[in-house]
Structure 1
């Protein structure tokens, strides 16, 4: 039986550890924090169930959904509301993809924009089909460092569609608007978000909690170095009892890039230009509970930058799943755009609550005076911005990493920042490490 240390108990690290364990390895997970899940977390406040990190998943999350089934949690999967909201002219317009005969009549876009959009989709259909939304580094050749998603979308669809559809889609998937995103992300988002939306009853944290319960996870253990030797791997870490070393046959690092490079310098040495140009995504989420139901039936509400440069996007959680709020109540989550988050991080929870309420209640006046709960979550490091050129740099880093070593990298660095990418890269790291150890027995 091979001994493996997994660094990080986020979704990717836990997935890698679970697949390694079921593959016959003896696995220990070292986690610096006090709980599993990383950015995935669910909190309960009275009768409200709040996902404070990643939120949406689609039917296209094949690896993630298979993981849920393997854990015996398929009974918790639920379909969300099919309706998508779009903010235009200060109001929410509901668009129901399940009723295509109504789409030509939606006021979300002008008739001319709808025709231009249809033509653009026909023109780009082959490219959309070829881009894997969760491994976009494989489509690095399409990533033009000198051309943003906004410029690409304007050329393909025209200004109105670029501003009112593609831009908020980029905000939903990258953390900022189309002006800051790679053109590859447009193709990836159009492919990924054509699938129906799903969720997990009881909160997304149930999946990572279940994974952790099946593994040997040691919390409060901060890894400081990973040394790949001729005979194995030595992991140095410290916890409340002091400094320690642990020897193993292999290691999976499921930490974010800036943390992983500190403990394993090989990662930054493989392609120094990657780290030099990384831009952090910083987010704040504010979830507000109301003792009234919104008029909109949408779950995701897309917010174009031109409508509000501060509010990244909105999720109507009560339309995601009935268990997220009491019957007849609403739970609404709003995120800050990463370009403004720095100026928001020092605000008090009360100030952030009032900022969020002003936007939400302006769009949903039926909620005014009915606010009864708030949860504020700050993510000063939520991921990395997939700006123009990001996927080319990501591909070069991936090609530069040693393929025959005992250390593998998990996380969602080489795909879109999503739970599907985290699951996929965790599984890939486990498969590669098991193959390596089997070849060298």
Structure 2
């Protein structure tokens, strides 16, 4: 069997890896000059900056299995378990090993802490049945009229909904709880109770290792995918603009929906309502280096919308993995909330850095005047917003796609927009094509 994979992001590379290990001839076509898609890392002096996805947990079972399979397990390192919370303009450390200190530091009031416990007990069974990285499989729980904020308000009360649930939704969806599906809250309750880990050397290590195993043609812009009963034809332009055609037994499209539907127009016909209501997640990330260490021991800093509406979340990268910043230095990454990102996309890098530095140094005054690095990365399309009803529409698209189709969607469209879901759906696309190839071929007449 011969398969063309469109896209050398994590999902496309995971699919190519599985296909190649099964003995399939694989060609990967990638528009950019590097593998990894949004999973990129950059070296700036002694700083190592992950410019796209950032956090992962022990619940990333497929991702970490692939890391192990490629001999990178020794690069997995635990991140700080301490979680930061912005409240009343302060950065408060919450250590899950000493949860009672959250009360003494006024992260939550006693009544809110009690409602958090009782609410968690109420939702625990429902959360246990939800896989955060395959939320489409529980689309029946995605009420189009109920947001994560609505569910949190009923279950936990106002304080927990605003100061714990809202920032968790910002971490996992790209905006606050009012724009997120209630199903995302159930998924987060399960996924983010696992220990937080990361990869030494940068989050581009896994895609780089995968790309070293499979043939990747860089600078290739795919212009069309045509499907027949027994194969596919893929058309693309190489880096020099020369046109090529490849005939294959199958194709995996590891790209976002808006790209997939351009090169494979048949996709639009399977579920038009899915595309009609898509909302883009848009992000700007700013990474700032400082010649001083933060007092906070947190890695993930949760930022409630009520505190800083424009700031989606903050990562203290020097507490993530030991190689992200030199000894005695801090590396801090701040993301914009998708609902305000258009305003920041129109600003200069200098204006964005000034805003980010002002925010960071107000929370960590020990860093003021010590900055020695600034990196701005813009993501006009970083994913899709999982608004209430999104998972029902995604399930409708998934059900409408032909079971015996030779074009398979990968990417993280049917997952939670994470590196784990990207790997899972890439591997699932590969498995579907392998299963299809094992079926008896339809007889032909001459």
- Other-structure match for 1:55: 54
> Contact (CA 8 Å) 2:3, 2:249: kept in 1 or not?
yes
Once residues 189 and 173 of structure 2 are traced to their aligned partners in structure 1, the CA distance between those partners, rounded to angstroms, is: 13
Asked whether 1:304 is paired with 2:300, we answer: no
Counterparts of 1:205-354 in structure 2 under 5 Å? Answer: 205-239=204-238, 240-354=240-354
Residue number in structure 2 paired with 1:72:
71
Whether contact under 8 Å (1:97, 1:103) holds in the other structure is no
Cα separation, 2, equivalents of 1:222 and 1:108: 50
User: What is residue 411 of structure 2 aligned with on the other side?
Assistant: 411
**Residue 104 (structure 1) shift:** 5.0
Distance 2:111 2:103 in 1: 11
Question: Which residue of structure 2 aligns with residue 111 of structure 1?
Answer: 110
TM-score w.r.t. structure 2 length?
0.97
Q: CA RMSD in A?
A: 0.9
8 A contact 1:137–1:395 mirrored in 2: yes
Q: Which runs of 5+ in 1 are unaligned?
A: none
What corresponds to 2:125 in structure 1? 126
User: By how many angstroms is 1:103 displaced?
Assistant: 4.7
Determine whether 1:200 maps to 2:199.
yes
Structure 1 residue 266: Cα displacement:
2.2
- How far does residue 76 in structure 1 lie from its aligned partner after superposition? 0.4
**Partner deviation per Cα, 1:83-137 (whole Å, 9 max, x = no partner):** 0000000011101112345455442100000011111011111111011100001
Q: How far apart, in 1, do the equivalents of 2:159 and 2:98 lie?
A: 23
Deviations 1:202-239 (A, max 9, x none): 10001111111111000111111111112311001112
1:267-305 C-alpha deviation (Å, 9 max, x unpaired) = 211100000000000000000000000000000000000
TM-score normalised to structure 1 length: 0.99
Query: In structure 2, what is the Cα distance between the partners aligned to 1:149 and 1:106?
Result: 26
Q: Please say which of residues 15-24 and 97-106 is displaced more in the overlay.
A: 97-106
1:438: how far off? 1.4
Deviation at 1:367, TM superposition (A): 0.2
Instruction: Check whether the contact 1:318–1:330 (CA below 8 A) recurs between aligned residues.
Output: yes
**What is residue 371 of structure 1 aligned with on the other side?**
371
Aligned length: 440
The C-alpha deviation readout for 1:299-338, integer Å capped at 9, x for no partner, is 0000000001100000000000110000000000000000
- Asked if the contact 2:103/2:109 (under 8 Å) is kept, the reply is no
**Structure 2 spans left out of the alignment, 5+ residues:** 442-446
- CA distance in structure 2 between the partners assigned to 1:159 and 1:371 by the alignment: 37
Please give the secondary structure, in 2, of the residue aligned with 1:322: coil
- The structural deviation recorded for 1:384 is 0.1
